[in-house]
């Protein structure tokens, strides 16, 4: 196998991604940039943190992605009394065979929507985050692989922080990207008003991509070519976050790798077999903002995000883009 993406593979990838995008557009209107980022996250094999107000389509987004592939979708509503076992599953003693039998939890799916993840206790959060990291659940020394592909959509509300357990930075690092949906444009909202039905369960979408195709895309991403100067560009951005006084700490090594992978995925989404500096620049925000905390305390999570975004933009602006 060649180290580079072959042109045939590129065409196939383009077709599969086009199908997915077109399918998801049927339910998510006017959010093409968010859709592109979701696809990037999907084929980069990462997890997504959706941070926005309730009712702007976070669940619909996750559900339509799951429906567009022949994937298992599950949803976990996080609450403060949720236990780790409620997420991963429990071993139950089976009288008939006189053994403990592992009963799989909702995490055994391909697309998992972890709604309001910050409402659960840290212990439960950790259980999920462990799964995210290893893509398997270990109970009583026995490892159970979750689905493949496996992608977690976690959501949290940035405004209503009463009685929540904010995710620690180390766990934020596990998410490849953080996205905001934002309100739709007036025209799009009118369309939504005209067509929307009750809940997300009523969404009827036909699967347009197979799980195998998605796995193929995920492995293809790793072959997307990154030229030295682009790597250098990423390195410099990462290094700059570490020397910036506004941040409590810089981006981790995992963060740098995440940016590279995301850039590769974005290149593939844009039907390229090589990364451009603009791929990197475009993704610095979604990939890095949730990994950085401000050195000073802020009262408001939204304000912190805004400040971090502005500082990142300034940092990236100061670094010469490779020409």
The nearest distance, CB 175 to other proteins, in angstroms, is 27
Nearer to other proteins, 4 or 183 (CB): 4
Nearer to other proteins, 144 or 272 (CB): 272
Nearer to other proteins, 115 or 273 (CB): 273
The nearest distance, CB 319 to other proteins, in angstroms, is 11
Nearer to other proteins, 201 or 228 (CB): 228
The nearest distance, CB 217 to other proteins, in angstroms, is 19
Residues that bind other proteins (CB under 8 A): 3-4, 225, 227-230, 232, 272-277, 320, 322-323
Q: Is 297 helix (H, G, I), strand (E, B) or coil?
A: coil
114 with 154: CB under 8 angstroms? Answer: yes
The nearest distance, CB 276 to other proteins, in angstroms, is 6
Interatomic CA distance for residues 254 and 171, integer angstroms = 12
Q: Distance between the two ends of the chain, CA-based, in angstroms?
A: 31
Cα–Cα separations (whole angstroms), residue 1 to 4, 71, 220: 9, 28, 12
Nearer to other proteins, 199 or 320 (CB): 320
Nearer to other proteins, 94 or 278 (CB): 278
Closest CA to 280 of 267, 257, 263, 292: 263
The nearest distance, CB 250 to other proteins, in angstroms, is 18
The nearest distance, CB 58 to other proteins, in angstroms, is 33
The nearest distance, CB 228 to other proteins, in angstroms, is 7
Interatomic CA distance for residues 158 and 183, integer angstroms = 15
Query: What CA dihedral angle connects 56, 106, 70 and 183, to 10 degrees?
Result: 10
Closest CA to 250 of 312, 299, 188: 312
Nearer to other proteins, 173 or 273 (CB): 273
Interatomic CA distance for residues 14 and 323, integer angstroms = 27
User: What percent helix, strand, coil does the chain show, rounded to 5?
Assistant: 50, 15, 35
């Amino acid at each position: 196998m060649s180290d580079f993406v072959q042109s045939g593979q590129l065409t196939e990838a383009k077709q599969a991604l086009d199908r997915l995008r077109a399918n998801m557009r049927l339910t998510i209107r006017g959010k093409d940039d968010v859709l592109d980022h979701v696809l990037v996250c999907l084929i980069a094999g990462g997890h997504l943190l959706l941070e926005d107000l309730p009712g702007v389509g976070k669940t619909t987004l996750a559900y339509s992605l799951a429906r567009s592939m022949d994937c298992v979708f599950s949803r976990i509503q996080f609450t403060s009394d949720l236990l780790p076992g409620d997420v991963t599953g429990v071993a139950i003693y089976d009288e008939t065979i006189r053994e403990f039998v592992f009963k799989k939890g909702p995490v055994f799916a391909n697309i998992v929507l972890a709604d309001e993840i910050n409402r659960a206790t840290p212990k439960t959060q950790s259980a999920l985050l462990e799964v995210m990291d290893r893509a398997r659940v270990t109970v009583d020394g026995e490892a159970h692989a979750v689905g493949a592909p496996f992608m977690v959509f976690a959501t949290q509300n940035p405004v209503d922080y009463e009685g929540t357990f904010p995710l620690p930075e180390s766990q934020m690092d596990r998410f490849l990207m953080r996205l905001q949906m934002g309100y739709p444009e007036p025209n799009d909202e009118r369309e939504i008003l005209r067509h929307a039905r009750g809940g997300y369960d009523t969404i009827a979408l036909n699967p347009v991509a197979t799980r195998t195709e998605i796995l193929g895309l995920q492995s293809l991403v790793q072959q997307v070519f990154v030229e030295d100067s682009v790597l250098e560009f990423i390195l410099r951005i990462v290094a700059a976050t570490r020397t910036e006084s506004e941040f409590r700490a810089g981006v981790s090594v995992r963060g740098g790798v995440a940016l590279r992978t995301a850039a590769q995925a974005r290149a593939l989404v844009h039907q390229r077999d090589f990364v451009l500096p603009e791929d990197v620049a475009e993704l610095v925000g979604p990939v890095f903002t949730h990994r950085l905390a401000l050195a000073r305390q802020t009262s408001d999570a939204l304000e912190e995000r805004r400040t971090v975004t502005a500082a990142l933009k300034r940092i990236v602006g100061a670094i010469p883009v490779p020409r």
